[in-house]
Every structure is written in C-alpha cells, then in structure tokens.
Amino acid sequence: MSRPAYRRPEYQKINKDLFVLTYGALVAQLCKDYEKDEDVNKYLDKMGYGIGTRLIEDFLARSCVRRCHSYSEVTDIIAQVAFKMYLGITPSVTCNNASRNEFSLILDKNPLVDFVEELPAGRSSLCYCNLLCGVIRGALEMVHLSADVSFLQDRLKGDKVTEIGITFLKKLDEKKYRRKK
C-alpha cells in the first residue's frame, strides 16, 4: 500500500473546519426558515437523531469497545472514546443521582462553536449544539438504550460551562436473555 502523502497540519484542521462551518451554515439557514427557537432546536435534534443512528455503526466499526455492563460505563465510553474520535475533545463525566441513571457531560471546549461569538439577537433560547443531543440519543437507541439527552447549561447562553445531561430511561432488560425455552 502506498504511503499516504504528507499533509500539512493546517490542512487537517481545515478538514474539521469543514464540518464546523457546514454546521454553522445549517443553523443559520434554519434560523431563517423557522421563527421560533423551539422549532430550530427540535429540527436540529431530529437531524442529530438521524445522524446518530448511522454514526453508531461507524463508531463500533472503528473502536473496539467491549460490551458495557452499566450506564456509567456507557457514558464513559461516549465521553472518552466517541467524543475524542469525532470531535477531538474529552468531556468530563459526572453522575447526578443515586440510582446512577442520570449523568452529565461537561464540555470545557466545544469545537462546534469555534466560530460563534454569541447567539444572534432575538435567539436567546436557541440551543446551538442541539445536534449533539440528537446524535447521542440516536446512537444509544441503536444499541437498545433509550435516553433523554438535553443541554443543561450552555456557554453561549451565559453559563460557565456547557453541560449535556443524559438520563437513561428504561432499565437494561436482563430477563429477556435468561428465559428458558
């Protein structure tokens, strides 16, 4: 196999810029099409869901993650493997409740907002990165885990950090596999 041509490091960054810029153009177009912020948020979430259901296959093919046995393992893999692979960042994970089904991903760096300084005027409840929530939700559903994913805090809205909350809904169904015929 031939050696891949040496690419200047800035070209690799430009490749990532392509995704970030495309996402920005998409949000801008959606803001033009829909007047209400909730509509834009919902549309982004729906698109993210469609992407997530397909991205999970790509993810599983590239990474060698083994089967997870708990929600916190799943969340760790999302933060440390998936985010690192696709966005180059590693959010930190915190668990929010005692029954261990509510988690938060804290992003101190978010490449999607690299070129965004502030939300446009009149769009104060726009969740700019709502696509991410849909992607996580869609990907989890394809591995038979249903979850509610939403932004709890957003730097663009003035909060200190950007926080994504994942709440796993149904318990992993074990009875199905133990049934004797």
Partner 1 sequence: MADEALFLLLHNEMVSGVYKSAEQGEVENGRCITKLENMGFRVGQGLIERFTKDTARFKDELGIMKFICKDFWTTVFKKQIDNLRTNHQGIYVLQDNKFRLLTQMSAGKQYLEHASKYLAFTCGLIRGGLSNLGIKSIVTAEVSSMPACKFQVMIQKL
- β-partners of residue 107 are 162
Query: Residue 14, interface with partner 1 (CB under 8 A)?
Result: yes
* Amino acid at the residue 180: K
Query: Residue 17, interface with partner 1 (CB under 8 A)?
Result: yes
SS3 143: coil
Query: Residue 171, interface with partner 1 (CB under 8 A)?
Result: no
Long-range contacts at 54-60 (CB < 8 A, ≥ 24 apart):
55/86, 55/135, 55/138, 55/139, 56/138, 56/139, 56/142, 56/143, 57/142, 59/85, 59/86, 59/139
Which listed residue (31, 86, 93, 116) binds partner 1 by CB under 8 A?
86
Site string for partner 1, 103-142 (x = CB under 8 A): ------------x---------------x-----------
- β-partners of residue 103 are 95, 166
Site string for partner 1, 29-58 (x = CB under 8 A): x---x---------x--xx--xx--xx--x
- List residues near partner 1 by CB under 8 A: 7, 10-12, 14-19, 21-26, 28-29, 33, 43, 46-47, 50-51, 54-55, 58, 62, 85-86, 115, 131
